[in-house]
Amino acid sequence: MPEESCLLSGLWPLAPSGTTDWLLELCGDGLTGFMPPAMPDAVWVLNAIYEHEQGPTEVSYHEHHQARLLNGRVQPRIVAGLDFEAVSVAAGGGLGRAEHPGRGWRRLRWAELARRTGDPIVPEGLLPSYRCFPSVRKEGSWPLDIAPPTEGSLDRETWNRVTTVLTEHSPAGPDTPCLAYYSPLVLGAIDFDNLHVQAGRLGDAGILYDTPEADFSPSNLWSEDRSWVLCTDYDLWATKIAGPPALIEALLNDPEIEAVRLPWAP
């Protein structure tokens, strides 16, 4: 067993069956993540967007990909005789974990992009997802100088900061007992008879981000006393955190986190 897996299983062993029963009753189906209501308050933490410091480009991810296909730098994906390149759009972004792209890139706040484009941060009635910022995209594809959010996982920097804020607002601090649930979708196996839940300390939550079994942050993380719940839905660009007002205000006002209230999704 790799060293990372041994460390993870030691700090976050599998929890007994039934630990998600209360979430099932509270939220319904957890296939893409158990989405909690306000408890009594809630906020949406937005996944990071990055922009290259060299400035805007008119070239989209799809146009760049098509150019690479034409010059042979990449090969087309053909499965069962179907040419996926002919029927799909390279939109940019993707699924799963993400982090700062490195030198030459800066964090682009959703609020800044909204001011620049005139698009709302999140269109009324919708949740943070690929449907945001339609005016930025060209025929469904983002410009090459912007790294859009990925679906289904917090980016590394936001995950680390969120767990720090949760620690600061939990009575037991880093010793707060927690449980982490990974949706069957992120594990690549639909098995609702054996839901994957691990138990550990909030202070050890950092290692959950790099679990070798999934390329995603946990679908749900919650304190054992159920005072707060985090949900990263497989299909969304944001994480909902439900809990006491003091925690929610701290997330809204944290300078490293970008968070919004969505009145239509409290």
Model pLDDT for residues 67-87, shown as the tens digit of each residue:
767 676 666 655 554 444 544
| Whether 128 and 35 share a structural domain | no
H-state helical runs in 130-210:
156-168, 184-187
| Whether 7 and 35 share a structural domain | yes
Mean pLDDT of 166-178: 97
| Whether 63 and 18 share a structural domain | no
Query: Does 159 score more than 90 pLDDT?
Result: yes
Mean pLDDT of 222-226: 97
Q: Taking the model in full, what pTM does it have?
A: 0.90
Q: Choose the final residue of a domain: 103, 124, 148.
A: 148
User: What's the pLDDT score for residue 101?
Assistant: 95
When comparing pLDDT for 4 and 207, which is higher? 207
Q: Choose the final residue of a domain: 122, 148, 174.
A: 148
| Whether 160 and 37 share a structural domain | yes
| Whether 139 and 182 share a structural domain | no
Peptide bond into 40 cis (omega under 30): yes
DSSP E strands in the chain: the ranges are: 41-46, 49-52, 78-79, 82-83, 94-95, 105-108, 146-147, 150-151, 177-182, 196-201, 220-223, 229-232, 238-243, 259-260
Overall number of domains in the chain = 2
| Whether 36 and 159 share a structural domain | yes
| Whether 186 and 111 share a structural domain | no
User: What's the pLDDT score for residue 8?
Assistant: 78
| Whether 160 and 211 share a structural domain | yes
- For residue 93, tell me if it sits in a domain: yes
